[in-house]
Chains A and B, each alone.
Chain A
């Protein structure tokens, strides 16, 4: 005997409801004005309460509105903060890059050519750099190469039309006259390789780490600092190993000067050393706080 399952008999009313609802929706789309007017009348109580919440100055609606407004304001301010932070980062990056580029180009009366480093000592034999400017851009063989405002790295040794090679001062066999600030002595400097140069100083001269080392034959001629001192009391000389402040692996832009910035005469080098010593006591950005004196302290001084 066939029996109708409870489940299928229950499905039919649901299907009927769905079909009727779809029919009503279809009719509504054909007569939207009728549906709108009917809805406006039937939903009037909800509409009135909605308006009360939106417009009333009573406590509860004010609280709901104010809370909603404050939440929207918080979201908007947070978005503005994110945008401002990203702009701030961009702005700071641009300012730093601008400062760095200005330093690379040196003083106003100096002429330097900005160049990008396209190969470093780790990629080239010996302590050499390859830069992306050559003779077509005015690069001269023998010109000094700077990083930052006044740190000299080496000299141009070869120029092609569109690139050049720079031999670093730290190249093995490179010799120069160096001036060590502190003991204020002019000594010989030689490249050791691997980004390190060495100064030879007689025993008895106080050599310590951190002392600045200049190359007075280049204007300006800061090279680096003494990073290690080798001092055997039984030896007649002590050695100071000098490294530039800027790591070679971090170099990506340098400034190439002109041949005129290299002094060749001993007299000019002496003048440069004297200039360095004259400005030794000059310290920038020092501010002196106000000093208060009283009559009693004045009397004590007398």
Chain B
């Protein structure tokens, strides 16, 4: 139940232009549950705003964010595996 609620809050924050709050929620969600589901949310938001007629920047940002989080997690994991 928490996951859909946070996703709804992220969507609402972006719609209301509360960008800092949205960023905090995105960071928290990525840390707790991973950032994969944020890509479809970004695609839906871009569709809602009609950005697919121009440049779907939210979707592209979500893909980049997913790549960044995956890279950061892999580095953290490798550090954990090295340290005793």
Which residue numbers of A lie inside 8 Å of B, CB to CB? 6-7, 10-11, 14, 17-18, 21-22, 24-25, 28-29, 32, 35-36, 38-40, 42-43, 45-47, 49-50, 53
Contacts and interface: CB of A to CB of B under 8 A. Distances in A.
A21 B66 contact: yes
Given A14-B70, A18-B66, A35-B43, A40 B48 contact: yes
Interface in B50-69: 50, 52-53, 56, 59-60, 62-63, 66-67
A75 to B, nearest CB: 14
Interface residues of chain A: helix, strand, loop or mixed (majority): helix
B8 to A, nearest CB: 6
Interface string B60-84: 1011001100100010011001000
Interface string B32-58: 000010010001111110101100100
Interface residues of B, number: 28
B12 interface: yes
Given A46-B12, A46-B15, A11 B74 contact: yes
Contacts of A17: 36, 39, 66
B3 to A, nearest CB: 15
B44 A28 contact: no
4 shortest interchain CB distances as A-B pairs: A39-B47, A32-B52, A35-B47, A14-B70
B12 A28 contact: no
A18 B67 contact: yes
A53 B16 CA distance: 9
Taking each of B36, B52, B66, B78, which has the highest tally of chain A beta carbons within 10 Å of its own beta carbon? B52
B44 A42 contact: yes
5 contacts: A7-B78, A18-B63, A24-B43, A28-B59, A36-B52
A32 B44 contact: no
A200 B43 CA distance: 95
A14 to B, nearest CB: 4
Taking each of A10, A25, A28, which has the highest tally of chain B beta carbons within 10 Å of its own beta carbon? A25
Given A25-B60, A32-B47, A53-B12, 11 more contacts: A14-B70, A21-B39, A21-B43, A29-B52, A29-B56, A35-B46, A39-B46, A40-B47, A43-B48, A46-B15, A50-B15
A17 B34 CA distance: 13
Contact of B63 (A11, A21, A53): A21
A227 to B, nearest CB: 64
Given A7-B74, A10-B74, A14-B70, A38 B47 contact: yes
Taking each of A7, A21, A29, A36, which has the highest tally of chain B beta carbons within 10 Å of its own beta carbon? A21
Contacts of B36: 17
Taking each of A38, A42, A43, A50, which has the highest tally of chain B beta carbons within 10 Å of its own beta carbon? A43
Contacts of A6: 81
Nearest to B48: A39
A234 to B, nearest CB: 85
Taking each of B47, B63, B77, which has the highest tally of chain A beta carbons within 10 Å of its own beta carbon? B47
B47 A28 contact: yes
B39 to A, nearest CB: 5
B15 A28 contact: no
B69 to A, nearest CB: 9
B8 A28 contact: no
Contacts of A35: 43, 46-47, 52
B30 interface: no
B43 A28 contact: yes
Taking each of B11, B48, B50, which has the highest tally of chain A beta carbons within 10 Å of its own beta carbon? B48
A46 B15 CA distance: 8
Contacts of A29: 52, 56
